[in-house]
Structure 1
């Protein structure tokens, strides 16, 4: 019975976390990773388990968004080309470096992104084409590489970074940006990071099936809600989850710094 309750709790957790993430464009780790730690996994094991489970976020969202047929495949290739090397770099070094100041600083930046979107009320509500010249693509690609490195090395929030960057720099509306993020970051970036981390740390294999099922179903439902309800809901979901992720990262970073200090 204890095993059944444990599996049921993991399923509900994964459904909820990935449903919210699919609406906002990232942040599933805000809920999922702390619960895995609370259930007794070490940080490295929880991280490897979460990273592998997060790949299903991309699977469920891809199934729903692909039906819309609105992706620019050249732009998809550009995002992958710029971001994947950063993901590999970040995933390769995450288990080897101190994380306190990095997580604390990232929390401040993440909360700032959400507040910025709140203040800029028209941001991401309509689509326009920006910075698609050579200079714009180089700058945009460098930032995507940096975010990719954060995606490989940290546990939550980096998909939200990509969402806002696509909106602010390239002029996408929120709904379109979330589509790109869930498919390219959720499926390709996350799978690359998961593979790299799994080579260094074994995950909790018996928990993965239910986490993968919950992530697939949750992300599909979240993507469906985002598509049918439009930009306003997606923008609000992004802002709320970004601020929450930022607060959590600030808290986590502060606890680590106090423990180390």
Structure 2
């Protein structure tokens, strides 16, 4: 009971912050699963299944708000899903310290880039939606999909920043796309692929699903009410702190 209580509290906090910042739930949720004794492949698959509920909770809120353009959503799904499936085939064969160090560098870089770009993501400025630049954007989403399937922890943050940087979204809209398309569909595909390759820890799945769904809904609810500046600061805080924690975990 003590383990389940700790797991539910950490999962709720992690998924609420993730839905508000546009990713990062695995940076808290995955370590707690490892700390409680699960082997890395089992913890990874269990977290991935639970993260689908995060996307489901956020999707319910964002669909009610009518935030998404479904034509652009198809581009995100078609670009990222193949990468996710490739990533899930790679991850179980890569040494964990290497994955953590790579992800630490990339995650810190995201936060610093956003921090040093004050105007980034403050206003919606749609761009690169046609011609060759659209396919460059699609290639970026494919690469992030590979990261999502392989590194899993915090890669939703990469989707958020790519949508802001390349496609000109504001932070509020980018977080909505990340939570629905990456959180639900990308993570769903990754969860199925990982579950076919390794075991899940089924006794903890119901608690994780409930906490993830509730956290996703609460984060999306607060995100819709907040301005882009607050969401930007939350994104930067989560990415930089997450990157530092990944460095520590990789080195020790």
User: Equivalents in 1 of 2:195, 2:3: separation in Å?
Assistant: 23
1:162 aligns with 2:129: no
Moved over 6 A (4+): none
Q: Paired residue for 1:240, among 223, 237, 241?
A: 237
CA contact (8 A) 2:124 2:170 kept: yes
Q: Which runs of 5+ in 2 are unaligned?
A: none
Q: Mapping of 1:141-180 within 5 angstroms?
A: 141-180=138-177
User: Equivalents in 1 of 2:229, 2:27: separation in Å?
Assistant: 22
Counterpart of 1:134 in structure 2 is 131
CA contact (8 A) 1:33 1:155 kept: no
Q: Paired residue for 2:97, among 100, 114, 136?
A: 100
User: Equivalents in 1 of 2:106, 2:156: separation in Å?
Assistant: 14
User: Equivalents in 1 of 2:33, 2:95: separation in Å?
Assistant: 21
Counterpart of 1:115 in structure 2 is 112
The alpha-carbon deviation at position 28 of structure 1 amounts to 0.2
May I ask how many residue pairs the two structures share in their alignment?
Answer: 252
The alpha-carbon deviation at position 229 of structure 1 amounts to 1.4
Q: Paired residue for 2:78, among 47, 58, 81?
A: 81
Counterpart of 1:30 in structure 2 is 27
Bigger mean CA deviation after superposition, 104-113 or 210-219:
104-113
Relative to the length of structure 1, the TM-score reads 0.94
Q: Which runs of 5+ in 1 are unaligned?
A: 256-261
Deviations 1:124-143 (A, max 9, x none): 01000111222111111111
Relative to the length of structure 2, the TM-score reads 0.97
User: Equivalents in 1 of 2:52, 2:126: separation in Å?
Assistant: 29
Bigger mean CA deviation after superposition, 226-235 or 75-84:
226-235
